[in-house]
Amino acid sequence: MGELETYALIDFIPFEAEAYFRLFARQNLSIWPSQLLTLPLGLLALWLAWRGRARPLGILLGLCWIWVGISFHLRLYAELSWAATYVGWAFIVAGLLLMALALPIGARTARTSGLGTKFLGGIGLGLSGLALYPLMPLVTQLSWQEAQVFGVAPDATTLVTLGCLLMTGRPTWPLAILPLAWCCASGATWLALGWMPGLLLPVGGLIFIALALWPSFERPAPARSVSELEPSARRGETCFLDRTLTRPDTAGARHEPES
């Protein structure tokens, strides 16, 4: 135990911040100009989450996770860390889960009604992943080639995914386990490298957990009296309330056959 206390977090990171940022630059240069499609795709993901379209949303996010796992972790990050190979496969598994588990829940995922806390929080996380990460070179010493964008960099992709899960109103925990695990791993990496803006992702993960566990109280609709019903219902015309309400003029009356 005494020897472990002499180690710092940076001792477990076998590279420096400059080498890590260089990975994003290499990734962006190798796929340019496909980054121009990431913002429309991210906005499409948020729109699908708002509409409750779980099937296309799961396919879109799943493909992004698989692409990031292969193109970034397995192809580039593995050059710096042996653990990146396992992380890359974890991203691929997360992408397959997003595509597979989103299919059966699509029929029972409804569009969020109103601007609830989870809905607004999901929009905030999603827009942060789409806008804040690409704009970080404006407030840091990074170059534009080192910017992180949705569908290309793991942190931005994870934050948008968590936002979409919140916006559906029913965040599925099996789908959130691996993204939250990457929040912890990425936060520890950025903390060890001393780059504080990178803590945006773990903070977003904490916000997701807090909002996902936030109790949602729905006020039941007040009961309507007969006098408040539509005129068609009071006249006895076909209405969905006919099965639950008894009209005063017919209650208790005996049915007599016509002569």
pLDDT higher than 70, residue 213: yes
Q: How far is 75 from 88, CA to CA, in rounded Å?
A: 9
Among 230, 249, 198, 250, smallest CA distance to 21 is for: 198
Widest pairwise Cα distance in the chain? 104
The dihedral of CA 100, 104, 107, 108: what is its sign?
negative
Instruction: Yes or no: say if 123 and 39 are a contact pair by the CB < 8 Å rule.
Output: no
Q: How high is the pLDDT of residue 214? A: 78
Cα 210 to Cα 118, 156, 213, distances in angstroms: 10, 20, 5
pLDDT higher than 90, residue 235: no
Q: Higher-confidence residue: 72 or 169? A: 72
Q: How far is 94 from 76, CA to CA, in rounded Å?
A: 19
- Please provide residue 214's backbone torsions phi and psi, each rounded to the nearest 5 degrees: -65, 125
Q: Higher-confidence residue: 244 or 165? A: 165
Q: How high is the pLDDT of residue 202? A: 96
pLDDT higher than 90, residue 243: no
Among 197, 149, 192, smallest CA distance to 19 is for: 192
Mean of the pLDDT values across residues 236-243? Answer: 38
110 confidence band (pLDDT: 50, 70, 90)? very low
The per-residue pLDDT for range 22-41, each reduced to its tens digit, is: 999 999 999 888 888 888 99
Q: Which of 75-84, 97-106, 202-211 has the highest mean pLDDT?
A: 202-211
pTM equals 0.76
DSSP structure string for 227-245: GGS-HHHHTT-S-GGGGT-
pLDDT higher than 80, residue 182: yes
Q: Higher-confidence residue: 17 or 44? A: 44
Q: 102: Cβ–Cβ under 8 A, 6 or more apart, which residues? A: 54, 55, 57, 58, 59, 61, 62, 175
Q: How far is 213 from 216, CA to CA, in rounded Å?
A: 9
Residue type, 151: G
Q: 199: Cβ–Cβ under 8 A, 6 or more apart, which residues? A: 187, 190, 191
How many other C-beta atoms are found inside a 10 Å radius of the C-beta of residue 72? 23
Q: 21: Cβ–Cβ under 8 A, 6 or more apart, which residues? A: 142, 146
